[in-house]
Amino acid sequence: MPSVKSLLTARHSKAVINQINDHIGYDEALFEELLAVFLGDDEELARQAAWVFSDVAPRFPMRCYQKWPELLALTIRPNTHDAIKRGFFRALQHLEPPEAYLGETVQLCFDQLLNRQAAIAIRVFAMTGLVNMVQQLPELKTEIRLLLEDELPYASAGFISRARREMRRL
């Protein structure tokens, strides 16, 4: 069996990503290998791993929770590539943050949501993550709604569409 790292260095395409997803399946050792690449120092390889991570992370929530501090640190590190942030926030839509890191995760999502310089995908994934966290912190509901309403006049079509959908969920 080829390693996750060797598969990631192949041509980057949806077909290759699907092949890696299938290769990892529910194998924790392969997911650990993917996590090591995603959290590693090779940014080019981490960017390749980000797409796969966002797809397979929901299959391994406990492994993600064990690495939560590193995942948070990765997203706030200066000059982190948008692909890496996008991978984390896309996965966050399907994960419930560990209680010990809930406050930091909420703050990180608010920071990304309010950052008009951030890529729209990152902002909308952070938005969905925040709305999902309302289950754990219902007091956020009003604040999120007000924030989204304030952002709508300045937002792109994609942001507006997601904001309206998420406001219905609130």
Number of neighbours of residue 139 by Cβ within 10 angstroms = 7
* H or E stretch at 123: helix 120-133
Q: What is the pLDDT of residues 14-27, one digit of tens each?
A: 888 888 898 898 89
Confidence of residue 4 (pLDDT cuts 50, 70, 90): confident
Q: What is the pLDDT of residues 78-124, one digit of tens each?
A: 889 999 999 999 999 999 999 999 999 999 999 999 999 999 999 99
Tell me: pLDDT of 10 over 80: no
Of 123, 132, 134, 133, nearest in space to 161 by CA: 123
Does 34 have pLDDT greater than 80?
yes
In Å, how far from its chain's centre is CA 72? 10
Flag whether 143 is in a domain: yes
Q: Is residue 35 part of a domain?
A: no
How many other CB atoms are found less than 10 A from the CB of residue 45?
Answer: 16
Q: Cα 94 from chain centroid?
A: 9
Look at residue 147 and tell me if it is in a domain. Answer: yes
pLDDT in tens, 113-158: 999 999 999 999 999 999 999 989 999 999 999 999 999 998 999 9
21 within a domain of the structure (yes/no)? no
Tell whether 126 is covered by a domain.
Answer: yes
Q: Note whether 62 and 26 are within 8 A (CB).
A: no
The pLDDT assigned to 1 comes to 64
Task: Report helix, strand or coil for 98.
Answer: coil
How many Cβ atoms from other residues are within 10 Å of residue 109's Cβ? 27
- 64 assigned to some structural domain: no
Q: What is the pLDDT of residue 33?
A: 94
Q: Is residue 34 situated within a structural domain?
A: no
For the chain, report the end-to-end CA distance as a whole number of angstroms: 45
Asked whether 90 and 112 are in contact (CB, 8 A), the reply is no
Residue 60 lies in a domain: no
Domain count, the chain: 1
Report pLDDT for 135: 86
The residue range of the domain holding 105 is 96-170
Arithmetic mean of pLDDT, 55-66 = 94
